[in-house]
Amino acid sequence: MPFDASLHRFCIAHDEAFVVPAESLDRHGMRPELARLLLDERRLSMDQLRCLEQGFALYWERCADLFKRAPGAWFAPRQTNLLIAREPHGLLPYLEPFAGTSSLLYLCDLDTHPEYVAVLLVHMERLALLRSVRAATICNLSYWFDRSPDSRRAFARAARSAQRPDAAGFVALARALDWVDDLLHDPLRPPLRTPDEPYIGVNDTGLFVPKRLQGELMKLADDAEGAVRTAMHACAPIAAPGNGQALEALCAWLEQARAHAIIVGPDGSTAWSPEATDARQVKRALEGADDKAIASVHADLRVIHERSRQFLDCVRDRAALPRHCAVLETGGGAYVDAARGAVVYELVQPAFDARTRVAPPYHRLLLGARVMHEWGHVAHTAKMIAVPDERKAGYRRARAALGERFAEVVRRMPARLREDIERDTRALVERAGDLPTALARKTLARVGDYLANLLCARLIPAEEMQAYVRTNVRHHIDEQLGIVSELARYAYEVHYLALAGLSRDYFFSTSRFPQHFIEPGIVSEEDANVLFDAAGAVLAHYAIDERLLALPATASAVAG
C-alpha cells in the first residue's frame, strides 16, 4: 500500500523532529514505506532504525509476557505514536505531542542499544499511566527479574553513554540492578521459603522490599525524579532579547494582514483585535522577548488567522453566526470568543509562556485543528451542520437501533459487573426513562465534537487532521467514567478515525481496549464492532448545509 502524501507531510512536518505513526511500527518492525522515507530524508540512519525496531520488539515481547503473568501489576504493550527529536536539549522530557497516544524519544537514544530503548518505552508507558516518575521507576523494577546478565550489561553500558537530558536517572537504575534480585513480587517472584529477614510491601505494586534496602529504593526514586527535574531546569528558557527584527516583522504583518485574532497580553488586557489599526500594544506586550519566541508567536498567529478566515469566508451570512455558544471551551491558550467573532490567543498560556518559549513540535498542527474545531462548534450551533429534513426519519430509526444494540451489549456483560453497570446506568435511565433511550443519548451526548471534526475534515490540511485525531482517539481507562459510559465514549470517538483516513484497527492497537474490554469478557469484539457500527449509522445522517457554508470539494484545497 503506498505511503499517503498527507501522512508523509505529517511525519516530517518539522526539521527538528519527526513522527513514527503508531500504525507504522509494530513488533515485526517499521513499515517499509516509512523506513524508506526517513532514510531518504536523512532523519535517521540504518543503525538507528534497527535499534528502534529491535528495541520496540523487546518492549512488546516483555510487556506481553509480564501482563500475561501479572495483569494487576503490568500493562499490555501497545503501538504508540513516537516523536523522535533530533537534539537532546530544548524539549521537556516526556513531552506527549498527542496526549494519551504518544511518547518522546531523542535521536541519540537510538545510538545506544535496543535494551536501552526497550526500557525507555516501558518507562514512558508506565509514566503515562501513573504520572509520577518515582512511582513509574519503582513499579517497573519487576521488569528486571527475568532479564539475563547480557541484557543487564547491555542496558548498563548504554545508560552510562546515553546523552538524553535525564540520562542520570537510568544510570541510577543500572546501579540498582546490583540489588534488584533481592526484591520479591506477588505473583512474579514469590518467596521460595519463609523469608529470614523483614520485608516491606510497596503499595499497589506487588513488590516486597527487604527492610535493609528501603533506603536504596528511596534513593533510586529520588535520583530518577531529580534527573527529570534537572533536565526540566536545563530546558527552562533563558532571557535573550533579540535585535527587534522579529517583533517588527510580527507587528508589520498584524497591521498589513489585519490579522483576525485577539491577542491577550500577560496582564489580561487586549493587545490586538481584528478591528485594530496599529500594533503598539503588541510591541509593548512582547518588548524584550526572545526573537525565536516572537517568531513562534508569529507562526501561531498566522495559523489562527488563516483558519479563522478560511471558516468565515465560507459563511454565506455571517449575521447568522451565534454571539453565544455554550459548548465552546475557554482557556487553553487559544479559543473562540463567539461574541467578538474571533480566536483569543493568550501570550501566557497554561502550558507555556509564549514570550519566552518556542512552541514544541506538532503544537502548530494541533493549534490549526483546534481553531477550526472550535469554529465547527459555532457552525453547529448555527445549525449549519445538522440532520437534513429528508434524513430525519432514517435518523430516528438509526438512533433507536443504536439504543437497542447498546442495551443488548449491556445485558450480555458478565454478572460479576452487574453492580458497577447498574450504578453507571441508573442516573442515565432516570433522565431518559428506559435503558435503550438512555444509552443512545449517552453515546450521542457529545455529537457536536464529531460534527465539528466533520467540518475540519473539509477545511484543514490533512496533516492537521492527523494530529487532531491521534490526540483525541485514545483510551479513557484512567478517567473513572464507568464501564458503560467509557464504552459509549469509544462508540462515537472511533468515527473520528475515518476523517483522517485511519482504520478502526488503529483504535484497537493504541487504546488497550482489547485488554480491558474484550479479553476480560466484558464485551466481545463482535459486539463492540456492532455497537460502533450502530453509532456510525446515526452519525452518517448528519450533513454540512452547503446552502449556508460554501466549502471546497475536499480538504486537498488546503493540503499543500
Phi, psi (rounded to 5 degrees) for 378:
-60, -45
Among the ranges given (240-244, 254-258, 538-542), the one the predictor scored with the smallest mean pLDDT: 240-244
Three-state DSSP at 277 gives coil
What pLDDT, on the 0 to 100 scale, is given for residue 431? 73
| Residue 468 pLDDT grade (very low, low, confident, very high; cuts 50, 70, 90) | very high
Average pLDDT, the chain: 93
pLDDT beyond 60 at 42: yes
Q: Please report, for residues 118, 397, 553, 554, the alpha-carbon distance to residue 451 in angstroms, rounded to integers and kept in the order given.
A: 39, 20, 17, 16
Cα–Cα distance for residue pair 522/517, rounded to 1 Å: 5
Residue 223: C-alpha distances to residues 119, 215, 319, 542 (Å): 17, 12, 60, 54
pLDDT exceeds cutoff 80 at 534: yes
* Residue of higher predicted confidence among 350 and 299: 299
Chain-centroid distance, C-alpha 177: 33
Write down the pLDDT at residue 555: 46
pLDDT at residue 124 tops 60: yes
In this structure, of 165-174, 321-330, 390-399, the range with the lowest mean pLDDT score is 321-330
Predicted confidence band at 486 (pLDDT cuts at 50, 70, 90)?
Answer: very high
pLDDT at 1 over 50: no
Say what the pLDDT of residue 279 is: 96
Using pLDDT thresholds of 50, 70 and 90, give the confidence band for residue 3. low
Q: How far are the Cα atoms of 132, 179, 412, 421, 476 from residue 417, in angstroms, in the given order?
A: 30, 41, 11, 6, 18
In angstroms, the CA 285 to CA 277 distance is 16
Q: How far is CA 265 from CA 269, 283, 293, 335, 349, in A?
A: 6, 10, 15, 15, 10
Specify the amino acid at residue 21: P
Please state at what angle helix 483-493 crosses helix 392-411, rounded to 10 degrees: 140
Q: Evaluate whether 374 touches 343 at the Cβ level (below 8 Å).
A: yes
Which helix (H) or strand (E) segment holds residue 160: the answer is: helix 149-161
Q: How many CB atoms lie within 10 A of CB 447?
A: 16
Give the pLDDT band of residue 557 (cuts 50, 70, 90): very low
The answer to pTM > 0.85 is yes
Distance between first and last Cα of the chain: 22
Q: If you compute the radius of gyration of the chain from its CA atoms, what whole number of angstroms results? A: 26
Rounded distance, CA 548 to CA 539, Å? 20
Listing DSSP states for 371-383 in one string gives: HHHHHHHHHHHTT
Q: Are 97 and 360 in contact (CB under 8 A)?
A: yes
Higher pLDDT among residues 242 and 333, named by residue: 333
Cα separation, 270 vs 252, in Å, equals 18
Give 505-529 as a DSSP string.
HHHHHHS-HIIIIITTTSS-HHHHH
Alpha helices, DSSP H, located in 446-548? 447-459, 462-472, 483-493, 504-510, 513, 525-539
Determine the distance from the C-alpha atom of residue 528 to the mean position of all C-alpha atoms in its chain, rounded to a whole number: 23
Instruction: Report CA-CA distances (Å) from 1 to 26, 32, 295, 422.
Output: 17, 10, 39, 46
Confidence of residue 239 (pLDDT cuts 50, 70, 90): low
Closest CA to 232 of 164, 322, 311, 317: 164
Q: Specify the DSSP element, H or E, that contains 264.
A: strand 262-264
Exposure b/e, 382-421, CB count within 10 A at least 16 = b:
bebbbbeeeeeeebeebbebbbbbbbebbeebeeebeeeb
pLDDT of 191 reads 83
pLDDT digits (tens, 9 = 90+) for 54-70: 999 999 999 999 999 99
CA distance 36 to 501: 21
Q: What percent of the chain has pLDDT over 70?
A: 97
Paired strand residues for 207: 185
Kindly give, in sequence order, each residue whose CB lies less than 8 Å from that of residue 197, ignoring residues fewer than 6 positions away: 210, 211, 212
pLDDT of the residue at 479 = 82
Query: 146-191: per-residue pLDDT in tens?
Result: 999 999 999 999 999 999 999 999 999 999 999 999 999 999 999 8
Residue 501 has a pLDDT of 94
Q: How many CB atoms lie within 10 A of CB 92?
A: 17
pLDDT at 391 over 70: yes
Instruction: Give dist(CA 360, CA 292) in Å, integer.
Output: 12
- Among the ranges given (184-198, 384-398, 489-503, 513-527), the one the predictor scored with the smallest mean pLDDT: 184-198
Q: What is the pLDDT of residue 238?
A: 61
Residue 195: the pLDDT is: 78
The whole-number average pLDDT for the span 7-20 is: 94
Better-predicted residue by pLDDT, 529 or 427: 529
Region 500-520: mean pLDDT is: 95
Contacts of 340 (CB under 8 A, 6+ apart): 262, 273
- Comparing C-alpha atoms, which of 56, 1, 57, 60 is closest to residue 34? 1
Cα distance between residue 521 and residue 312, in whole Å: 48
Alpha carbons 338 and 327: distance in angstroms, whole number: 11
